[in-house]
Amino acid sequence: MSPPRPSAVLSGAHFMDGNHAACEGAIAAGANFAAGYPITPSTEIVERFAARAPLVGATFLQMEDELASSIAILGAAWGGAKAFTVTSGPGFSLMMEHIGFAAMTETPSVFVNVQRGGPSTGLPTLPAQADMMQARWGSHGDYEIIALCPNSPQECFNLMIDAFNFSEQYRNPVLLMMDESVGHMTEKVVIPPADQINIFPRRHTSKAPSEYLPFKPASDDVPEMARVGEGYRFHVTGLTHDEHGYPSMEWQTQQALVGRLVGKIRAHADDLTRTEEKQLEDAEIVLVAYGISSRVALWALQEAREEGLRVGLLRPIVVWPFPEKRIRELAQRVNAFVVVELNYGQMVREVERAAAGRARTILVPHAGGAVHPPESIVKVLREVGSWA
Amino acid sequence: MPAATTGVKARKFRGEVLITEDRCKECGFCIEFCPPKVLEFSKEFNRHGYHPPILVNEAGCTGCDLCGLYCPDFAIYGIRVPVESPAATASAAGVSPLGNDTSGVESVRQGGGI
Amino acid sequence: MGVMVPFNPVEPFLRSERMPHIWCSGCGIGTTVNCFARALAESKLPLDKVAIVSGIGCTGRVAGYLNLDSFHTTHGRAIPFATGLKLANPELTVVVYSGDGDLIAIGGNHFIHAARRNVDIKVICINNFIYGMTGGQVAPTTPVGATATTAPYGCFERPFNLPYLAESSGAVYVARWTAYHVRYIAHSMADALRKKGFSFIEILAPCPTLYQRRNKLGDGLETMRYYKQHSVIRHGANTRDVNLHFQGEITLGKFVDIERPTLQQTMEQRFRQVLRDRYAG
């Protein structure tokens, strides 16, 4: 496939929604293959990609279901493409097996989930953030995942590029965990000139086929990839495999492989961690929120500050790996974490685990279908403030 | 005019089969489907406890390689060797592009005839 | 100085270091791999540009034994993986090699859609009428009356007629053989390798450990004899008429060989026609 061309990047200022911005982010990142299946509220991303693909040297295929979409992109990735798929709700459930396959075979790939209310068909047109633990643990077996949560159309663009870069750097599936509100929110999006966009290139091997072992890691635990069709004659399997890529049903091979798959992400958790922090310097109460909820939480923060409560905000931008080190540091000096998320308690478990009893952790839950009324958050902040 | 007087058409090659005994799982396909019926089960066991085939009629083998095409275990194949040449020279039909790399091929037993 | 060791002509196509393979004595899968190796040789395709994709199951292990760029994917999803691989890298010849359960049960939806789109992939389906790897369960190809561990009183569901399914879904090349018909298989595979578009070859093969033993049909060799005695070659037969019945007559042959633009071609034609010089393909 032809490499992405600078003319593909729509540099300039735009007024666009998060879904369209995510699509442009993918194109700017050099994505030249997408497969998808229509599902609300994510469909606009592939609709735009379907229109843009033939103009920018990319390929889009609407597949027969999400199972097909989520593995067609992995075939394309091994074929040399930078590939992504997009889904929501039930479609994300159907893609779980291939997130695991991508993790096991170390296939660079980006999966976008524009979250809607669930379980099951739930609320197709309305927001939720209730797939966060599914994002982390949804495929069977042990693996690590990288997931990013944008809270604006601009960030949908930016984080899509980051998602591709992380997937290439770590050879791991990367999830862009949007939500319906961010996906359908229209704001200013500035797309930089193509030459100012950093792209992490595919880690192609320079070794000769005779010296190359497809799953022998380099110094950072990530193996180099061979190009298909160039005589490497490599084997890729979802079975537990050795450095040759050959199946091996030995516990030692399992330990070496899964240990490395998990380790290559855990060892770089600090490099991956990215948060936005507001008014934490003197904070006694820390709001923890991501995606659309972080914008509602910011409103509540400002209200609470006006009332004299010393409240700050920690927004995980990279949600997996979870910024547990930062939570641990803050837990030494703050009284409480107030976690605002559109679910009945998912990331709050991570906050509570990292705080380890050194600060109280309170959840402001919401079943989804709308965002939190800011007042419901302020009410909790007042109450937590009164405990001091 | 010896050929005409004897009535025997002189063959320019002789057939030969090569067997990787330890790959054999004794399915019997090669023996059953050999057109001139020149193979039988050996009395010997291979490493895995199977009886591999042996060539019992060397003169009858035509080197057609149908045994090779049937063998599901890649354990036998037939070649045609020009009669002038010694057995199993590089001119044999089955010489591999891999050259002398014998990795993975254990105890190749040869046999064959005109 | 020893004599040069002649090699089995299949050897360069195998990952010899992985032999012996996992298939049972009398299983027909290995026989079809022999045929595939000969077809590759006959096709004269540069092997570096041939990729093989398998799903899960006994036949799913073929990818791992072939000395090609090879992908052992998830259960039922070899075809959509191959679709992505082929579209991303059109210069590859992409072969899907898998079993009836993988391609037609769990992967059935992908099978019909890839045929409909005419994705330029070659699909080789080893049909042994049963789930082998998991221990002998009923498949959508199990003939009525045959038993399986999950159909202990005999299968009561009508099986798919795979050539008919393939043709009606849009395949441009459809053939059926048995593992006994080795030369036909090899030629048919070579035909398919040359053909542009969705090509489908069904190969009936013995599963002596599960299908044959459970149904008291003898071993692999007896099954091969059965194939020899009860097969009729009818090239061009109407695929409607090639249903298989429990221990019935088997119709073989090349049933379909037509020309139809591939997915890649229809895609490019459409974009070129509509977008003209804006098309960046």
Which backbone phi and psi does A63 adopt, to 5 degrees?
A: -90, 180
Residues contacting C196, CB < 8 A, separation 6+: C120, C172, C262
Tell me what the mean pLDDT of segment C196-215 comes to: 98
Share of chain B above pLDDT 90, in %: 61
Q: Do the chains contact at B32 and C31, CB–CB below 8 Å?
A: no
Interface test with C, best of A32, A95, A228 (most C CBs within 10 A): A228
pLDDT at A4 over 90: no
Q: What is the pLDDT of residue A219?
A: 84
> Which residue on chain B is closest to C208 by alpha carbon?
B27
Strands A83-87, A109-117: pairing is parallel
pLDDT at A141 over 70: yes
If you compute the radius of gyration of chain B from its CA atoms, what whole number of angstroms results?
Answer: 15
Neighbours of chain A (3+ CB pairs under 8 A): C
Separation in Å, CA C67 to CA A90, A306, C30: 39, 70, 14
Q: Do the chains contact at C182 and B69, CB–CB below 8 Å?
A: yes
User: Is C61 within a domain?
Assistant: yes
If you compute the radius of gyration of chain A from its CA atoms, what whole number of angstroms results?
Answer: 21
- Rounded to whole angstroms, the Cα distance separating C170 from A307 reads 69
Q: Do the chains contact at C20 and B73, CB–CB below 8 Å?
A: yes
- C 83-102 residues with CB < 8 A to B: none
User: Is C6 within a domain?
Assistant: no
When pLDDT is cut at 50, 70 and 90, the band that residue C1 belongs to is very low
Q: Do the chains contact at C109 and A64, CB–CB below 8 Å?
A: yes
Encode burial over A147-164: b for 16+ CB neighbours within 10 A, e otherwise: bbbbbbbbbbbbbbbbbb
User: Is C8 within a domain?
Assistant: no
Tell me what the mean pLDDT of segment A180-209 comes to: 97
Q: What is the pLDDT of residue A350?
A: 98
- A 86-105 residues with CB < 8 A to C: 97-98, 101
Locate A43 and state its tokens.
């469909």
B97-103: long-range pairs with CB below 8 Å, 24+? B97/C12, B98/C7, B98/C11, B98/C12, B100/C4, B100/C5, B102/C5, B103/C16, B103/C17
Q: Does the CB of C206 have a partner CB in chain B at under 8 Å?
A: no
- Record the pTM: 0.94
C-beta of residue A23 within 8 angstroms of C-beta of residue A192? no
Range scoring the smallest mean pLDDT among A87-91, A227-231, B10-14, C238-242: B10-14
Contacts A225 to C, Cβ<8 Å: none
pLDDT at C3 over 50: no
C-beta of residue A246 within 8 angstroms of C-beta of residue A297? no
When pLDDT is cut at 50, 70 and 90, the band that residue A388 belongs to is low
When pLDDT is cut at 50, 70 and 90, the band that residue C264 belongs to is very high
Contacts B29 to C, Cβ<8 Å: 26, 31, 220-221, 224
Element at A186 (helix H, strand E): strand A186-191
- Rounded to whole angstroms, the Cα distance separating A215 from A256 reads 11
Q: What is the pLDDT of residue B110?
A: 56
Residues contacting C3, CB < 8 A, separation 6+: B86, B87, B88, B89
Interface of B with C (CB under 8 A): 18, 20, 22-23, 25-29, 32-33, 48, 50, 65-66, 68-74, 76-77, 79, 86-90, 92-98, 100, 102-105, 108
- Rounded to whole angstroms, the Cα distance separating C134 from A19 reads 43
Contacts C183 to B, Cβ<8 Å: 69
> Which residue on chain C is closest to B101 by alpha carbon?
C5
Range scoring the smallest mean pLDDT among A191-205, A333-347, B100-114, C246-260: B100-114
Contacts A249 to C, Cβ<8 Å: none
Locate A144 and state its tokens.
């690590």
Q: Does the CB of C82 have a partner CB in chain A at under 8 Å?
A: yes
CB-closest option in C72, C91, C280 to A54: C280
CB-closest option in C3, C19, C224 to B74: C19
CB-closest option in C63, C76, C271 to A54: C271
Q: Does the CB of A209 have a partner CB in chain C at under 8 Å?
A: no
Separation in Å, CA A125 to CA A23, A39, A150: 19, 10, 18
Q: What is the pLDDT of residue B12?
A: 86
Q: At how many degrees (to 10) do helices A66-78 and C78-88 cross? A: 40
Q: How many CB atoms lie within 10 A of CB A242?
A: 17
- Rounded to whole angstroms, the Cα distance separating A320 from A347 reads 10
Q: At how many degrees (to 10) do helices A96-105 and A66-78 cross? A: 20
Contacts B94 to C, Cβ<8 Å: 6-9
One-letter amino acid for residue A225 of the chain: M
- Rounded to whole angstroms, the Cα distance separating A54 from A32 reads 10
User: Is C245 within a domain?
Assistant: yes
Contacts B98 to C, Cβ<8 Å: 7, 11-12
Domain that holds residue C238: 14-278
Q: Do the chains contact at A72 and C53, CB–CB below 8 Å?
A: no
User: Is C3 within a domain?
Assistant: no
Interface test with B, best of C10, C11, C29, C35 (most B CBs within 10 A): C11
- Rounded to whole angstroms, the Cα distance separating A268 from A328 reads 17
Chains A and B lie in contact, requiring 3 or more CB pairs less than 8 Å apart? no
pLDDT at A221 over 90: yes
Strands A123-127, A186-191: pairing is unpaired
Q: How far is A364 from chain C (nearest CA, A)?
A: 40
Cβ-Cβ contacts under 8 Å between A and C: the total is 146
Compare B2 and A146 and report the one with higher pLDDT.
A146
Give the domain CATH number at C177. Answer: 3.40.50.970
Q: Is residue A306 helix, strand or coil?
A: helix
Share of chain C above pLDDT 90, in %: 96
- Rounded to whole angstroms, the Cα distance separating C1 from C6 reads 15
Average model confidence (pLDDT) for chain A?
Answer: 97
Residue holding tokens 């050897």?
Answer: C11
C-beta of residue A70 within 8 angstroms of C-beta of residue A111? yes
Q: Which residues of chain B have pLDDT under 70?
A: 1-10, 85-114
Contacts A80 to C, Cβ<8 Å: 88-89
C-beta of residue A205 within 8 angstroms of C-beta of residue A183? no
Q: What is the pLDDT of residue C281?
A: 81
Tell me what the mean pLDDT of segment A183-195 comes to: 97
Residues contacting A267, CB < 8 A, separation 6+: A220, A221
- Rounded to whole angstroms, the Cα distance separating C164 from C241 reads 8
Please provide the DSSP assignment of chain C as one string. -PPPPP--TTGGGB-GGG-S-SPPTT-SHHHHHHHHHHHHHHHT--GGGEEEEE-SSSGGGHHHHBSSEEEE-STT-HHHHHHHHHHH-TTSEEEEEEEHIIIIIITHHHHHHHHHHT-SEEEEEEE-SEETTTTSEE-TTPPTT--BTTBTT---SPPP-HHHHHHHHT-SEEEEEETT-HHHHHHHHHHHHHS-S-EEEEEE---IIIIIHHTT---HHHHHHHHHHHEEE-TT--GGG----TT--EEEEEEEE-----HHHHHHHHHHHHHGGG---
CB-closest option in B27, B66, B74 to C14: B74
Q: Do the chains contact at A73 and C84, CB–CB below 8 Å?
A: yes
pLDDT at A5 over 70: no
Share of chain A above pLDDT 90, in %: 97
pLDDT at C27 over 90: yes
Interface test with C, best of A32, A236, A240, A248 (most C CBs within 10 A): A236
Q: What is the pLDDT of residue B5?
A: 41
Q: Do the chains contact at A236 and C71, CB–CB below 8 Å?
A: yes
Domains of chain A, CATH where assigned:
6-196 (3.40.50.970), 275-387 (3.40.50.920)
Tell me what the mean pLDDT of segment A313-336 comes to: 98
Tell me what the mean pLDDT of segment A51-68 comes to: 98
Q: What is the pLDDT of residue A7?
A: 80
Element at B53 (helix H, strand E): strand B53-55
CB-closest option in B20, B68, B108 to C9: B68
Q: Taking chain C, what is the end-to-end CA distance rounded to the nearest angstrom? A: 57
Interface test with B, best of C8, C19, C185 (most B CBs within 10 A): C8
Tell me what the mean pLDDT of segment C233-240 comes to: 98
Q: How many CB atoms lie within 10 A of CB A337?
A: 24
Q: What is the pLDDT of residue A137?
A: 98
pLDDT winner (highest mean) among A4-13, A220-229, B90-99: A220-229
Q: What is the pLDDT of residue B9?
A: 59
Locate A307 and state its tokens.
């009332």
Interface test with C, best of B17, B29, B65, B103 (most C CBs within 10 A): B29
One-letter amino acid for residue C13 of the chain: F
Q: How many CB atoms lie within 10 A of CB B111?
A: 19
Cross-strand partners of A178: A114
Is the sign of the CA dihedral A288, A294, A298, A303 positive or negative?
Answer: negative
C-beta of residue C173 within 8 angstroms of C-beta of residue C192? yes
One-letter amino acid for residue A298 of the chain: L
Tell me what the mean pLDDT of segment A188-203 comes to: 97
Question: Per residue in A287-302, pLDDT tens?
Answer: 999 999 999 999 999 9
Contacts C180 to B, Cβ<8 Å: 33
Compare A36 and B3 and report the one with higher pLDDT.
A36
Q: What is the pLDDT of residue C7?
A: 77
> Which residue on chain B is closest to C27 by alpha carbon?
B72
Closest alpha carbon to B78 in B89, B88, B63, B92: B63
Contacts A74 to C, Cβ<8 Å: 73, 81, 84
As for how many domains chain C has, the answer is 1
CB-closest option in B32, B50, B76 to C221: B32
- Rounded to whole angstroms, the Cα distance separating A385 from B81 reads 94
Separation in Å, CA C185 to CA A61, A149, C226: 33, 53, 17
> Which residue on chain C is closest to B98 by alpha carbon?
C12
